[in-house]
Amino acid sequence: MSGQRDFSNRRNFLKNSIAITAGVGATLTAKTSLAQNTKAEFLEVDPWTKTQGSTFINPPYGLPSRYEKSVVRVLPSPAPTFLTGSRTPLQNLHGIITPNGLVFERHHAGVPDINPDHHQLVIHGMVDKPLILTMEDIVRFPSESRIYFLECSGNSAAELKKASGKTAQEIHGLLSCCEWTGVRLSTIFQESGIQPGALWALAEGADGAAMTRSIPMKKMMDDALLVYAQNGEMLRAEQGYPLRLFLPGYEGNMSIKWLRRIKLGAEPWQTREETSAYTDLRADGKALQFTFAMDVKSVITQPSGMMKLKSKGFYEISGIAWSGKGGIKKVEVSTNGGKSWDVATLQEPVLDKSLVRFRYPWIWDGTPGVLMSRAFDSNGDIQPSMEALLKDKSPNTFYHNNAIQPWRVAASGEITNGR
């Protein structure tokens, strides 16, 4: 019966999509200036077609169009007394890759200025042969490139207490997705050897905070990378230049930037960042110390908070979904606050531990509504409502908010945070 119901739902969705698509052409054509303009002004040549454009040699490093100057990272609002990071403008992005200049930042003691010619990585502890590797040594190892998301465990945290953000960037912008290039840790450990009983690794950064985290060796031997490049160029300084650890699907603070050493041991080190911080406080006052993988999550980015629908008619609802526990299997969209749900289309590529772009056709009739999305992953998990999340975890929860994000659409077309 379940299989028949799934097929029936898909068939109805496809039927509705075909009907919507059939009306889209007429709807859009009726709105175009070409259809409404009976004069010949549209044949006039624009001024930029009559002049010589700027040369390609200035500036030497390419920049976006000046008309896209508002697409930038922003600080939390209100801004903290000291700079800790910035947020990605999710609502302005297309596809799944975040440009390097828009990848969110999070740091604990500012961004260090590291000379790659002097930087070294030490591998020590419970290994057969301790190693001191230069950057030149590291890039000589066999490398690979993978597309993965990166999310701060505190992403969307403020929403757990009250609706505080206005845009997708403000609420969910501690999230990015890049092509990461580097060397598998398992390859490095083949050189150093691993002693019996080495179950944990300590990763430490070279920044002023000496950020350190304990990591299970199972993860280090699975898909962990020593990353030196992102999106085809060397790491940006704020992203860990010249070397960072990257743990696909794990909370962002564990992907230690400016990596200087890895020590193997039998037990976790109980560092500050895994005892007094980055723990999930329960209702009884106790805390879950290790919550590594980020839960399944999605958010509609188009249309979303602070945008406005200018007229009735067709709109494509678009957004992103991701899971640290595997791949996205399905995303559903609701336009009536969760009273009913339809399956959205997943845009290729659909990769494990990566952002996935979803799309859903919608005709707005001019009445108020609430847009929502919920994601399903290959681990069998479903993105929860805020009520379900707080019931399952605790009202004291601060990290790992993967609750459904509602966007409220007013009759005027204005869109606001519907929390």
What is the residue-wise DSSP string for 25-73?
HHHHHHHSHHHH--SSGGGSPPGGGSSPPPPTTSSSS----GGGTT---
Instruction: Please tell me the distance from the alpha carbon of residue 261 to that of residue 121, in angstroms, as a whole number.
Output: 5
DSSP codes of every residue in 77-112: SSPPSS--EEB--GGG--SSPPPGGGS-EE-SS---
Instruction: State percent of the chain over pLDDT 70.
Output: 87
User: Which tokens go with 122?
Assistant: 């030490």
Query: Which region among 65-74, 282-291, 377-386 has the lowest average model confidence (pLDDT)?
Result: 282-291
Instruction: Please tell me the distance from the alpha carbon of residue 61 to that of residue 350, in angstroms, as a whole number.
Output: 31
Confidence of residue 28 (pLDDT cuts 50, 70, 90): low
- Pick the closest to residue 120 from 107, 131, 133 (CA basis): 133
Instruction: Please tell me the distance from the alpha carbon of residue 373 to that of residue 121, in angstroms, as a whole number.
Output: 43
Q: Which residues of 209-240 are buried (b: 16+ CB within 10 A; e: fewer)?
A: ebbbbbbbbebbeebbbbbbbbbeebbeebbb
Q: What is the pLDDT of residue 4?
A: 44
Sheet harboring 369-377: ordered strands across? 342-343, 328-334, 369-377, 407-409, 415-417
- pLDDT of residue 270 exceeding 90, the answer is yes
Fold for the domain defined by 88-283: Sulfite Oxidase; Chain A, domain 2 (3.90.420)
Q: Which residue has the higher pLDDT, 176 or 287?
A: 176
Task: Decide: 98 and 82 in contact? Cβ < 8 Å.
Answer: no
- pLDDT of residue 103 exceeding 50, the answer is yes
Instruction: With residue 191 as reference, give the H or E element that holds it.
Output: helix 185-192
Those residues whose C-beta lies under 8 Å from the C-beta of residue 102, and which sit 6 or more positions away, are 71, 72, 73, 88, 89, 93, 176
Looking at residue 419, its amino acid is R
Q: What is the pLDDT of residue 124?
A: 98
Measured CA angle at 288 (ends 354, 201), to 5 deg: 65
Q: What is the pLDDT of residue 40?
A: 62
DSSP 382: B
| Main-chain dihedrals φ then ψ at residue 31, nearest 5 degrees | -95, -15
Query: Hunting for tokens 């075909």 — which residue is that?
Result: 18
DSSP 158: G
- Pick the closest to residue 266 from 202, 192, 221 (CA basis): 202
| Main-chain dihedrals φ then ψ at residue 111, nearest 5 degrees | -100, 115
Confidence of residue 34 (pLDDT cuts 50, 70, 90): very low
Confidence of residue 282 (pLDDT cuts 50, 70, 90): confident
- pLDDT of residue 114 exceeding 80, the answer is yes
- Pick the closest to residue 147 from 219, 223, 58 (CA basis): 223
Q: Which residue has the higher pLDDT, 280 or 54?
A: 280
Spans of all domains in the chain:
88-283, 297-417
Q: What is the pLDDT of residue 76?
A: 67
- Pick the closest to residue 356 from 325, 385, 338, 329 (CA basis): 329
CATH class (in words) of the domain with range 297-417: mainly beta
Task: Decide: 205 and 223 in contact? Cβ < 8 Å.
Answer: no
Task: Decide: 325 and 379 in contact? Cβ < 8 Å.
Answer: yes
Those residues whose C-beta lies under 8 Å from the C-beta of residue 332, and which sit 6 or more positions away, are 341, 342, 343, 344, 373, 374, 376
pTM (2 d.p.): 0.90
Give per-residue pLDDT as tens, 333-366. 999 999 999 999 999 999 999 999 999 999 999 9
